[in-house]
Amino acid sequence: MENLSDYFAMGGYARFVWPAYALGAAGLVAVLWLSVKSWKAREDEFAKLKTARDEGAN
């Protein structure tokens, strides 16, 4: 158990390392969320354009 607590202490740098990990993970989640949001918006836009094209062809 002592080795595990040493690992989580990161040699005394834990107060810098763990927040950096948290910020990095939060940044990745934010990028993923924005990408999915943008992707869905582009899909909706594409569907509208396709519908408009199909209606114009009739």
pTM: 0.72
Contact 17, 10 (CB under 8 A): yes
4 found inside a domain: no
**pLDDT tens, position by position, 1-52:** 578 888 888 888 999 999 999 999 999 999 999 999 999 999 999 999 999 9
28 found inside a domain: yes
9 found inside a domain: no
Cα(36)–Cα(58) distance, integer angstroms: 33
12 found inside a domain: no
> What is the per-residue pLDDT for 58?
65
Cα(42)–Cα(49) distance, integer angstroms: 10
Whole domain around residue 58: which residue ranges?
Answer: 22-58
